[in-house]
């Protein structure tokens, strides 16, 4: 334990004094957040995403939906009547969603004949959101024009605000990404540097154990990551009024993520002979992962075959888990991701610790 | 009999079809300064690193404090200090921090005063604010020695600690090594400076091409393999040269001086008595004792300059 602390202290000191490592761990993610946040946070003129659940499925509801679609304001996504709609909206963080109640056809027919009040269409979601207001306007206008007299109206149902913005999506992804780059890039080059400069032999001549050395590295990167998270959190809130929170589950995920990617970096370092090729290799692996694991773009917006690749990448699970716990408050999803990461981390750690040797040839 | 600290039997390390270390036996006893002397590529570092548990031998066994270097080194690591031949400190760690780091690795709490003491011993106290990468070659080496000593080891390996140092720095290191010997530490030292081995070592082994050529205390080696003393009889002239040849001594004649080779087993005193009796005339005489250099020349068949063997 004292050996590990000694190693932790010396390594941390040297790390802080090398400014590049420091830059990539703490400053670089902030720059990315500011740049991408500024680009993607604009409310564009794109269509509004609208899930629709038609519980009636009669002629009138179909007519209504066809007219709604014809406005071009929405991308309509039909949700099966079996789905618990409120739950769906919450889980998927929809700002607005439309439900046509059963008996809609009959109500419209009755209203047409003057035998009853106008039928209702329910718009659920977050009334404080601008998209909701816009969507409400369009949906109601279409309802009012369904027939020559008013036969249907839109009523709203407040489901509270998911308030999930791009930055809420992006910052947890960025945290995941930093948890990958910081340990992986630096471990892979450290391993080859230590081998080439005889530092492993030097350490090997002391009572320090390989596992203690590794643990000290993991500990150091964890501390660094916690500092990085704190900074990203402050920047996200201050610059973009983000809504995510730092949860205990998020901390756990980051620790396990650091553990996994430190092991992975060490694994890479075992196989490359010099620090330059080690960092080239880490880049070659790290950057595609960053795009494939849905750090910048939602996985759902990618082609299916890329989604399969994404499912095989650990970063995907870290990003997903962090988003789930930090932005969506869904610790069940996050816990599943945690388990996946922990298992793959343990496997990688064992492979790497075995492959790495401090002995000379 | 002193405790055996290092014990190697039939140690062999093969690279390709070359034996870097070839069936080497060696024993080092507690409290000894043992020096392995040999030219570049003799196999010194390979041997040392096997004994440090940092490389595996191809065959043979080695024990440190009775523990097998391949299986049980963990049990003795804390008792061993190491200065590798290619020692480099970390770039961005200052000497006192490096000492503290190493103390921690050996599980030792060390005070600022003790750190200072160690740095003073290796004459680095004035460099305590300089990053490792900014130290000179000699300063780096001295820091390495301080690091090797911080765990208070009983056995210390120093692999060519003085190579490339200026004569003054070398003397400084010799003093440190002497002090270690006086403190009862066991020191395993490799070098290709003959005078270093002669000066420091209780026992020397001369190594060449992976094999031990000879080993023993410097005096023993000089007596056995130095080829005896040379006596120069000043102005003995040609008559003297002829007289000595008649007495059966190998001599050379140069500039009116005669240099006589006195066999190793004969005492110089007895030789001089014989000369005086035989009436050979000379103005004065000088003796030149053989040194390890002569031993090396006689046994290896070449001279060594900065580690390079010249046949
Ligand atoms: N890892 C290795 N692979 C192949 N050959 C090696 C290896 N290590 C050492 N050798 C060879 O083994 C021989 C002995 O090397 P070693 O480093 O032990 O010599 P040395 O006596 O320490 O020399 P020096 O005085 O130059 O330090 C050399 O010929 C060297 O080239
Ligand atoms: Mg060597």
Q: What is the pLDDT of residues A180-196, one digit of tens each?
A: 988 988 888 888 889 88
The residue nearest atom 3 of ligand 1, judged by CA position, is B15
Instruction: For residues A21-37, give the mean pLDDT.
Output: 73
pLDDT for residue A162 is more than 60: no
Cβ <8 Å between B84 and A205: yes
Instruction: For residues B128-132, give the mean pLDDT.
Output: 92
Where is pLDDT greater, at A62 or A18? A62
Q: How far A266 CA sits from the closest chain B CA (Å)?
A: 19
Q: Are residues B76 and B134 in the same domain?
A: yes
Q: Are residues B197 and B250 in the same domain?
A: no
The residue nearest atom 28 of ligand 1, judged by CA position, is B41
CA dihedral A215→A219→A224→A227, nearest 10 degrees, is 160
Q: Distance from the CA of B162 to the center of ligand 2, in angstroms?
A: 12
The residue length of chain A stands at: 361
Q: Are residues B193 and B161 in the same domain?
A: yes
Is the sign of the CA dihedral B267, B269, B274, B275 positive or negative?
Answer: positive
Is the sign of the CA dihedral A258, A263, A268, A274 positive or negative?
Answer: positive
pTM (2 decimals)?
A: 0.77
Where is pLDDT greater, at A93 or A262? A262
Cβ <8 Å between A201 and B54: yes
- The tokens describing A277, both together, are 């090729």
- Ligand 1 atom with the smallest distance to the CA of B44 is 21
CATH of the domain at B284: 3.30.70
Q: Give pLDDT, residue B251.
A: 85
Where is pLDDT greater, at A303 or B34? B34
Q: How far B84 CA sits from the closest chain A CA (Å)?
A: 7
Q: Are residues B164 and B280 in the same domain?
A: no
* Chain B residue numbers touching A3 (CB-CB < 8 A): 104-105, 107
First to last CA, chain A: 29
Q: Distance from the CA of B46 to the center of ligand 1, in angstroms?
A: 6
CATH of the domain at B219: 3.40.50.300
Bridge partners (DSSP) listed for residue A2: none
Q: Are residues B208 and B277 in the same domain?
A: no
Q: Are residues B192 and B269 in the same domain?
A: no
Classify residue B295: in a domain, yes or no.
Answer: no
Classify residue B303: in a domain, yes or no.
Answer: no
The residue nearest atom 12 of ligand 1, judged by CA position, is B20
Q: Are residues B118 and B176 in the same domain?
A: yes
pLDDT for residue A53 is more than 70: yes
Instruction: Give percent of chain A with pLDDT exceeding 90.
Output: 33
Q: Give pLDDT, residue A267.
A: 86
Cβ <8 Å between A197 and B53: no
- Ligand 1 atom with the smallest distance to the CA of A360 is 1
Q: Give pLDDT, residue A41.
A: 60
Q: For residue A328, give every residue at least 6 positions away whose Cβ sits within 8 Å of its Cβ, in sequence order, or none.
A: A91, A93, A162, A164
Q: For residue A57, give every residue at least 6 positions away whose Cβ sits within 8 Å of its Cβ, in sequence order, or none.
A: A81
User: For residues B213 and B211, what is the distance between their CA atoms, to the nearest angstrom?
Assistant: 6
pLDDT for residue A198 is more than 70: yes
Q: Give pLDDT, residue B255.
A: 86
Q: Give pLDDT, residue A19.
A: 67
User: For residues A203 and A273, what is the distance between their CA atoms, to the nearest angstrom?
Assistant: 19
Angle of helix A104-112 versus helix A59-70 axis, rounded to 10:
90
CA distances (Å), origin B112, targets A23, B96, B103, B180: 32, 8, 12, 22
Q: Are residues B85 and B174 in the same domain?
A: yes
Q: Are residues B36 and B181 in the same domain?
A: yes
Q: Are residues B201 and B265 in the same domain?
A: no
Residue of A nearest to B58 (CA): A361
Question: Per-residue pLDDT tens for A115-141?
Answer: 888 999 999 988 777 788 888 888 988
Q: Give pLDDT, residue A292.
A: 82
Using CB atoms, which residue from B49, B87, B93 is nearest to A13? B93
- The tokens describing A155, both together, are 């009523």
Q: Give pLDDT, residue A148.
A: 78
ipTM value for the complex: 0.85
Instruction: For residues A260-277, give the mean pLDDT.
Output: 83
pLDDT for residue B286 is more than 80: yes
Q: Are residues B62 and B189 in the same domain?
A: yes
Q: Give pLDDT, residue A330.
A: 85
Name the least confident of B40-54, B128-142, B279-293: B279-293
Give the best residue of A22, A207, A357 to mutate against chain B (max B CB count within 10 A).
A207
Q: Are residues B141 and B28 in the same domain?
A: yes
Choose among B148, B200, B153: nearest CA to B174.
B200
Classify residue B294: in a domain, yes or no.
Answer: no
Cβ <8 Å between A10 and B77: no
CATH entry 3.40.1710.10 includes domain A48-158:
yes
CA distances (Å), origin A346, targets A216, A251, A321: 16, 18, 18
Using CB atoms, which residue from A201, A207, A359 is nearest to B105? A207
Classify residue B71: in a domain, yes or no.
Answer: yes
User: φ and ψ at B82, to 5 degrees?
Assistant: -135, 130
Most confident of A13-27, A146-160, A343-357: A343-357
Question: Per-residue pLDDT tens for B95-122?
Answer: 999 999 999 999 999 999 999 999 999 8
Cβ <8 Å between A10 and B90: yes
* E strand segments, B65-176: 67-68, 80-83, 155-159
Structural domain of B266: 228-289
What is the number of structural domains in chain B? 2
Stretch(es) of chain A classified as CATH 3.40.1710.10? 48-158
Question: Per-residue pLDDT tens for A274-302?
Answer: 777 777 787 788 877 877 887 777 776 67
């Amino acid at each position: 334990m004292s050996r590990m602390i000694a190693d932790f202290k010396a390594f941390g000191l040297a790390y802080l004094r090398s400014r590049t490592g420091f830059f990539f761990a703490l400053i670089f993610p902030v720059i990315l957040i500011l740049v991408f946040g500024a680009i993607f946070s604009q409310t564009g003129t794109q269509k509004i995403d609208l899930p629709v659940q038609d519980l009636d499925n009669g002629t009138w509801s179909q007519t209504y939906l066809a007219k709604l679609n014809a406005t071009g304001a929405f991308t309509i996504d039909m949700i099966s009547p079996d789905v618990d709609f409120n739950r769906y909206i919450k889980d998927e963080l929809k700002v607005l969603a439309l439900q046509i109640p059963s008996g809609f056809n009959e109500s419209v027919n009755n209203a047409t004949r003057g035998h009853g009040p106008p039928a209702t269409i329910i718009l659920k979601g977050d009334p404080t959101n601008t998209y909701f207001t816009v969507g409400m306007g369009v949906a109601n206008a279409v309802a009012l024009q369904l027939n020559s007299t008013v036969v249907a109206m839109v009523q709203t149902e407040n489901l509270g605000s998911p308030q999930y913005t791009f930055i809420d999506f992006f910052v947890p992804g960025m945290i995941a990404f930093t948890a990958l780059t910081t340990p992986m890039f630096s471990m892979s080059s450290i391993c080859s540097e230590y081998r080439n400069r005889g530092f492993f032999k030097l350490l090997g001549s002391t009572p320090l154990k390989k596992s203690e050395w590794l643990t000290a590295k993991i500990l150091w990167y964890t501390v660094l990551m916690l500092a990085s998270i704190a900074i990203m959190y402050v920047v996200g809130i201050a610059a973009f009024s983000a809504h995510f929170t730092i949860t205990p589950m998020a901390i756990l995920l980051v620790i396990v993520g650091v553990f996994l990617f430190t092991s992975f970096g060490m694994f890479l370092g075992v196989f490359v002979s010099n620090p330059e090729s080690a960092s080239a290799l880490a880049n070659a692996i790290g950057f595609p992962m960053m795009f494939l694991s849905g750090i910048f773009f939602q996985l759902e917006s990618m082609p299916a075959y890329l989604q399969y690749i994404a499912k095989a990448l650990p970063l995907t699970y870290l990003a997903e888990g962090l988003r789930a716990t930090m932005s969506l408050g869904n610790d069940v999803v996050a816990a599943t991701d945690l388990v996946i990461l922990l298992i793959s981390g343990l496997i990688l750690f064992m492979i790497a610790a075995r492959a790495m040797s401090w002995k000379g040839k | 009999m002193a405790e055996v600290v290092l014990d190697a039997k039939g140690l062999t390390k093969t690279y390709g079809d070359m034996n870097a270390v070839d069936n080497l036996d060696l024993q080092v006893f507690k409290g000894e300064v043992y020096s392995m002397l040999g030219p570049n590529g003799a196999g010194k570092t390979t041997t040392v690193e096997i004994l440090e548990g940092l490389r595996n031998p191809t065959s043979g066994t080695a024990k440190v404090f009775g523990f097998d270097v391949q299986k049980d080194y963990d049990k003795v690591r804390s008792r061993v200090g190491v200065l590798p031949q290619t020692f480099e400190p970390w770039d961005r760690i200052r000497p006192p921090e490096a000492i503290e780091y190493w103390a921690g690795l050996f599980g030792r709490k060390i005070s600022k005063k003790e750190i200072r003491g160690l740095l003073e011993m290796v004459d680095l106290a004035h460099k305590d604010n300089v990053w490792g990468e900014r130290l000179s070659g000699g300063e780096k080496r001295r820091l390495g020695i301080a690091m090797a000593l911080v765990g208070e080891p009983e056995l210390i390996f120093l692999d060519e600690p003085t190579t490339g140092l200026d004569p003054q720095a070398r003397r400084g290191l010799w003093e440190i090594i002497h002090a270690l010997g006086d403190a009862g530490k066991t020191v395993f030292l490799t070098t290709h400076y003959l005078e270093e081995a002669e000066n420091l070592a209780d026992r020397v082994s001369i190594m060449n091409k992976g094999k031990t050529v000879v080993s023993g205390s410097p005096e023993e080696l000089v007596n056995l393999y130095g080829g005896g003393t040379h006596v120069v009889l000043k102005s003995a002239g040609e008559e003297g040269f002829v007289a000595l040849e008649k007495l059966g001594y190998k001599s050379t004649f140069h500039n009116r001086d005669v240099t006589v080779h006195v066999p190793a087993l004969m005492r110089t005193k007895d030789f001089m008595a014989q000369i005086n009796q035989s009436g050979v005339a000379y103005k004065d005489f000088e003796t030149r004792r053989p040194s390890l250099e002569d031993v090396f020349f006689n046994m290896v068949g070449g001279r060594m300059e900065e580690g390079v063997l010249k046949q």
